[in-house]
Amino acid sequence: MPAPGILLVDKPLGPTSHDLVSRVRRLAGTRRVGHAGTLDPAATGLLLLGVEGATRLLTYLVGLDKTYEATIRLGWGTTTDDAEGVPTSAPAEVGEEVLARLPEEVARLTGELDQVPSSVSAVHVDGRRAHELVRAGERVELPARRVTVQRFDVVAVRGAEVDVVVDCSSGTYIRALARDLGGALGVGGHLTALRRTRVGPFEVGEAGPLEPPLRLLDPAAVAARLFPVLELEAAAATALRQGKRPEVEQEDAAVAAAVDPDGALVGLARVERGRAAVLMNLPQVAS
């Protein structure tokens, strides 16, 4: 059985996220591989994969903020809000007067937004994903959802193509930002390139090659980058693994990374009034 860990992958253009999960399953020799959020085949960048017991950490990674580098093509929208869709209108001229309004409209799309996801998305509608319904010819109208765009910076303008960097909350659709920016400018817009460069504290530059031996991050090191560390004595670590609530010398924390005297991750725990209560235990690996 392989050791548990989190794998940082720099997804290339073309394969699906599931393709990479399947590849890691073969390389790691286990079916227990999962992901913390997918990327479209036309997107590149950082994927977080969990192997063996570390898949239990993925729930706490899915909701992390993210950073994207993207290119928006102004001039027309598409049915999918990206380059794979069919144009929804004739091309519009993107002149100097349109580009002069770019900073103002980008600013309007920064902060807390009620964003309508792209219809070709993974959002569930009546038990099915929206993109499945759209491709089956059904009309899909998705409700707006609250998202936060902390940063929406224009880094280059090349004619009608706009290169941007976006820091945003989980669940934000960059394709929808491209659509809404083009709509606000009155010329339409769609996404032509997307790369995820950060998930929470993890950067794409940390990703390792998809070849043996896989460069897995230790679960304790991953958890320590997300939460305060709760160092347990041996008896307290055993008690927490058994679902008990041991006494600890630690400030209250909604989530803490509980580690045993050897530095191994016991699991995640809530600390309240001098006692720890388990939220998620990591399976012990036989030595």
Pair 186, 211 in one domain: no
Based on the domain organization, do 55 and 137 belong to the same domain?
no
**141 in a structural domain:** yes
> Does some domain include residue 287?
no
Domain annotation covers residue 244: yes
Who contacts 95 (Cβ-Cβ below 8 Å, separation ≥6)? none
Instruction: Give me the number of domains the chain comprises.
Output: 3
Residue 271 resides in a domain: yes
- The CA distance from 230 to 189, in Å, is 48
**Band of pLDDT at residue 237, cut at 50, 70 and 90:** very high
Cβ count within 10 A of residue 26 = 9
What is each CA distance from 42 to 11, 145, 274, in whole angstroms? 10, 24, 49
Rounded CA separation 202/272 (Å): 28
Same domain, 94 and 28: no
Catalytic positions: 40
User: Is the domain of 19 the same as that of 86?
Assistant: no
pLDDT tens-digit readout, 113-155: 999 988 765 554 445 554 554 555 555 677 899 999 999 999 9
- Which pTM does this prediction carry? 0.92
Reading the block at residue 181, the tokens are 């920016």
Domain end, chosen from 217, 244, 263, is at 217
* AA identity, residue 238: T
Question: What's the domain range around 265?
Answer: 220-281
Q: Kindly report, residue by residue over 17-62, the tens digit of the pLDDT.
A: 999 999 999 999 999 999 999 998 999 999 999 999 999 999 999 9
Q: Is 102 found in the same domain as 42?
A: no
242 lies in some domain = yes
Together in a domain, 113 and 124 = yes
Residue 81: CATH number of its domain: 3.30.2350.10
Shared domain check, 227 and 261: yes
What's the CATH code of the domain at 269?
Answer: 2.30.130.10
Nearest residue to 83 (alpha-carbon basis) of 99, 95, 94, 72: 72
Is 72 part of a structural domain of the chain? Answer: yes
- Do 178 and 81 contact (CB within 8 A), yes or no? yes
Measured over the CA atoms of residue 208, residue 211, residue 213 and residue 218, the dihedral's sign is positive
Q: Residue 227's closest CA among 188, 270, 195?
A: 270
Domain for residue 286, yes or no?
no
Are the beta carbons of 219 and 51 closer than 8 angstroms?
no
Give yes or no for a contact between 200 and 63, defined as CB atoms under 8 angstroms apart: no
Are 187 and 76 contained in the same domain? Answer: yes
> What pLDDT is stored for residue 192 in this prediction?
98
Q: Are both 151 and 267 inside the same structural domain?
A: no
Q: In the predicted model, is pLDDT for residue 197 greater than 80? A: yes
- With a pLDDT cut of 70, the percent of the chain lying above it is 91
Contact between 27 and 214 (Cβ < 8 Å): yes
Alpha helices in 76-173 (DSSP H): 96-100, 102-108, 130-135
Give domain status of residue 116, yes or no.
Answer: yes
